[in-house]
A = this chain, B = another copy of it.
């Protein structure tokens, strides 16, 4: 079996040991608990789409490794079309759920990034990582896994490397190397989609030097492995997910977790890097490269929903979209800019020696700077179109609308050109997208804007630009970058 439907996927989750908490309490069944079920519901939908005539081309592809049809998030990306397929998948998922779907994203990206890095390690160091990685790829495909991807550590004092932190466990690290595997402890934080995943793929949080070899660990672990405790973080207005009514849309929900590792054993066949610090920079670099190459799909997918939400509120208010056309067009420009740059980074990407595909990192970094700004403008415009209702705190609760004393009257005040419930539902979606639980991590997901700018700086041929301009200006003398005078 390399394809599962949503029901089968949910069954696979129910077999896992409960080790996820929220509000201080253990979640017994993630597929029914209000804090996690919405996110899982949208992942289940992605599984179901493998069997949908119209959409299966988006949600599945032919596996490069086996030649079989597989869930797209279980396959190796080997060409520009695959990179576009990644962006298209994300756009479709966001279109469905309105928000981020971590369990079919970062883990997949990581095993793709590991493909070429393990190949190079094996070639240069004589290790066996690439073979293991390939086997894990086949295992993931065969079992149709949902995989979270763990990168960000606790970090502690941002000016110090892991080995200099007061608490060694603030970053995930190897505490023991055994014959049959490694033992790891520490934590990973801000991780998306863990509750909806079967397994967790792990890479180091940054490129490290020789003093931090223990922190250079890449591997895969079952979500419920012994020694792992997971805490779901709170998102904006998250209590509403626990309530009845329409104060939050029921389509989907995001999920972010903190993961505590306490002497977790990882057998050798699941270890893909264990101390080879010289490759940690390339690993994080390739991960970011693939991630940023497709990130435009996420942002655009949510932007599509914001456009629709804004149009609906306007209509509920009795106003034609013509009134807001220039604003809606700007929303689309923001959307298609990030999507188009994802396509552009695919168009100018390259196949690696090992056969995996890497989108153009310069364009990916440029796109990251837009992803950290344009969706904010799109949200602002969405609120602008929707009117005061959506800004913050301007709609009474569902319970108030049900009050036997004043509920009926109150609902009448909420009517526009349509009934109050319709108008409130339309507004609640816009609120959820712009100041609610639907907000995804545009700013820091896939790394920060400042990190992207460093990438842009490193990837641009400044001296070649200067030399070419010298030629046009007719300057023949040397004009090097000045060195500081003392």
Contact = CB atoms under 8 A, between A and B. Distances in A.
Size category of the binding interface on chain A: 35 or more
Contacts of A315: 466, 479-482
Interface in A282-317: 304-305, 307-309, 311-312, 315-317
Contacts of A479: 312, 315-316, 418, 422, 426
Interface in A310-335: 311-312, 315-321, 325-326, 328-329, 332-333
Interface string A370-394: 1011001101100110011101111
Interface string A440-475: 111111001110010011001010111111111111
A482 B160 contact: no
Contacts of A474: 246, 249-251, 425
B444 A393 contact: no
A7 interface: no
Interface string A75-105: 0000010001000000000010110000000
A214 to B, nearest CB: 18
B305 A469 contact: yes
Contacts of A157: 317-318, 416-417
B312 A469 contact: yes
Nearest to A253: B393
Contacts of A376: 376-377, 379-380
Interface stretch (A58-66, A107-115, A123-131, A342-350): A342-350
Interface in A246-271: 246-247, 249-252, 254-256, 258, 260, 262
A480 B417 CA distance: 11
A169 B483 CA distance: 24
A21 interface: yes
A402 interface: yes
Report the copy number of this chain in the oligomer: 4
A332 B400 contact: no
Interface stretch (A132-140, A215-223, A403-411): A403-411
A34 interface: no
A437 interface: yes
A376 B378 CA distance: 11
Contacts of A416: 155-158
A28 interface: no
A417 B156 contact: yes
Interface in A340-378: 340-348, 360, 362-363, 366-367, 369-370, 372-373, 376-377
